Structure 1
Amino acid sequence: MDRSTSASQDHSPLACMPSALAANQRAAHHDDADRLFHTAVQERIDLPDGLAVRCAATDYDLVMTFVAQERRCCPFFHFVIEITPNHGPIWLRITGAEGTKAVLEAGLEALREVCAPDSVENGPGV
């Protein structure tokens, strides 16, 4: 895969743009993020420039929907989706330029705070 064409895109400002999603889309995206990171994630690996999460093959639609919306409001994230054979797990890596991990962690912490009562009961979370 040739990344030379995306070199200039790697220097996007680390600024989320919530207005890239309509209000109803933001609410649905928040629900998807909550479900993904508080219920679907089976494993999390911290990376120097982001994180990787493992989900079940049955969470394919959730992962794809989350990425499709997240890349609209946070265009500085670099997403890699690995779909393993034979209905194996899906790995989602979210990385980016310097500072991306801190932005990602802040977003996940905010999600934890908003969803704290449910996340304790809903699974391992991130």
Structure 2
Amino acid sequence: MKKITMVYRMDNYFNKIVRLAENSHQQMSCTLTDVALRERKAHLLDTVQQKVLEKIELENGYAYRFESGGQILEQLMELIRAERACCSFLIFTLSVSGPTDDLWLNLTGAEGVKSFITRELGF
């Protein structure tokens, strides 16, 4: 019974996030200066992007697969922390399971987010 309740709550939580993203009229623009964005791209974004094994287009964004191991989990967490501070319209979903299973990062949001991810983040 607890499991069903938890699933119900999680469904409500994620549906609420999707509704907020779909109904958001927030402008999709990074709040970083051009210099700060170039610096982030040169370091953190490029480092993570080089480790992408697979990219899948989703209806409202992209899913990226990464090999488990090394520093990738810490780098993904750093990326999420950094990007959510300046790109509050993005929704980050990080899927992690067993110690040798691949990691998945979903970057999603409202309509138009895919072009932002490609254009501004270079993903």
Q: How high is the TM-score relative to the length of structure 2?
A: 0.72
Identical counterparts, % of pairs: 27
User: Counterpart in 2 of 1:64?
Assistant: 77
Q: 2:60 aligns with which of 32, 43, 49?
A: 49
8 A Cα contact 1:18 1:26, kept in partner: no
8 A Cα contact 2:68 2:99, kept in partner: no
| CA distance 1:9–1:17, shift in 2 (3 Å) | farther
SS at match of 1:57: coil
8 A Cα contact 2:65 2:105, kept in partner: yes
For the residues of structure 1 that align with 2:108 and 2:90, how far apart are their CA atoms?
6
User: Counterpart in 2 of 1:89?
Assistant: 102
Quick one: which amino acid aligns to residue 42 of structure 1?
L
Residues matched between the structures, number = 105
For the residues of structure 2 that align with 1:95 and 1:71, how far apart are their CA atoms?
12
SS at match of 1:42: strand
Stretches (4+) displaced over 3 A: 3-9
2:117 paired with 1:104: yes
Superposed CA deviations along residues 24-59 of structure 1, whole A, max 9, x for unmatched, are x972x321100111x211111111211111112221
For the residues of structure 1 that align with 2:102 and 2:17, how far apart are their CA atoms?
28
Superposed CA deviations along residues 73-103 of structure 1, whole A, max 9, x for unmatched, are 1110011000021321110000100111111
Q: 1:77 aligns with which of 82, 90, 93?
A: 90
Superposed CA deviations along residues 99-122 of structure 1, whole A, max 9, x for unmatched, are 1111111124xx4xxxxxxxxxxx
CA RMSD of superposed structures (Å): 2.4
SS at match of 1:72: helix
Measure how far apart 1:3 and its partner are. 3.9
Q: 1:14 aligns with which of 8, 28, 32?
A: 28
